[in-house]
Amino acid sequence: MPHAEAVPEGSKITICEVGPRDGFQNEKVFIPTARKIEVVNALFAAGLRHIQVTSFVSPRAVPQLADAKEVLAGIDRPEGAWVSALVPNLRGAERAAEAGVDAVHTVVSASETHNRKNVNRPVDQSLSEFEAVFETLHKAGVVIEGGIATAFGCPFEGDVPAQQVARIARRYQDLGAGSVALGDTTGMATPLTVRAAIHAIRDAAPGLDIHLHFHNTRGVGLACVMTGLAEGVTHYDASVGGLGGCPFAAGATGNICTEDLVYLLQESGFETGVDLDRMIAAASLTQEIVGRPLPGQVLKAGPRLKRHDPEMTVTAAG
C-alpha cells in the first residue's frame, strides 16, 4: 500500500509525557505521592495534555508506583486532558478503569526473551490474555493503546524483524486497538529500523495509528523523531528531563527528553501546545525531586534565543 507523506510544517504534534510513569518507576527512593502530583500538575501547566501518569502493576514488582490510585485522585485535570496508565494484565486494567483513566497502555515485547523477562510469559500468551483486558476496558469506555516493547531491537536477541512487530500490531488491531506505540526499550532504534517498522505495520494493519516511544541510549532519539515525521507520524512519547529506562532490560537508559523534543519541534515549525519556559521549569522541579542532574540538554542551556548579560561574562585577555 502507499505510505504516508511527511508531516507538513505547521502541523500539530501530540506529545505524550511518560515521565511520571516510565521515569519514576526506575527511582530507587520512594517519591512522596504529593510530589508526584506536583510534577504532573506542573506538566499540565506547561501545556501538555496527554500524560501517562502511572502504572497499575504489582506493588511488589514496582513499589515506586504503589500509590497509582492516590496520584490519579490528586491531580488537577485541565480541560482537554487525556490521562493514561500502563496495565500489564486484567487486574491492572480493572484497577485503572476504577481509578478513572481516559486510556490505558498495554505492553508486549516484540522479542520472546524480553517478554519473558518483563512479564514472565511467551509473546502469544500475552496477546491471548489481552482478549479479556480489551473486553473489560471496552465495556468501561476506556481507550486502549497497544504497546510493543523492544520494537527496534532486543538486548538479548539483537535485531527484531519488522514483520514480527507488524504481526503484533495486526493482532492489536484485531483486538480493537486504534493505535499502537512502538517502544525503543533500550535505545536500539535507528532511522532505518524506524522506517522499516512503520512501513511493515502500515502494510499489515492499514488504518492503525502509529505512536513512537524513543529512548536516547545511543544519542539518536531525536534523529529517529525526524524520521517519524518524514513518515507522517504525529504522536511521540517523551519524558520530562530525560528520565526513564526499563528495570527489566540490560543497558536501558532514559527516554528522549520532553523539553528537548518540544524545542526541536517548535524550532522546526511544528505546533506542540507546550510553553517551553514552563516545560523547563517542570523539568527543573523534577530534577530537584529526584535529587540528581537529569540528562536533558535544554534544561541546562535554555531556549536558543535566551539572552545573557555580557557584563557577567569573562572577557578574553590580549
Rounded to 5, what percent of the chain is helix, strand, coil?
45, 15, 40
Given the C-alpha cell 506536583, which residue does it identify? 38
| Cα dihedral sign, 111-210-101-62 | positive
Query: CA dist 252 to 155, 215, 262, 280, 305, Å?
Result: 9, 8, 23, 24, 33
Mapping DSSP to helix (H, G, I), strand (E, B) and coil, where does residue 113 land?
helix
Instruction: Give the separation between CA 227 and CA 244, rounded to whole angstroms.
Output: 22
> Is 246 tagged catalytic?
yes
Instruction: Give the separation between CA 138 and CA 140, rounded to whole angstroms.
Output: 5
146 bridge partner residues: 106, 180
Active-site hit among 16, 224, 246, 257 = 246
Residues designated as active site: 246
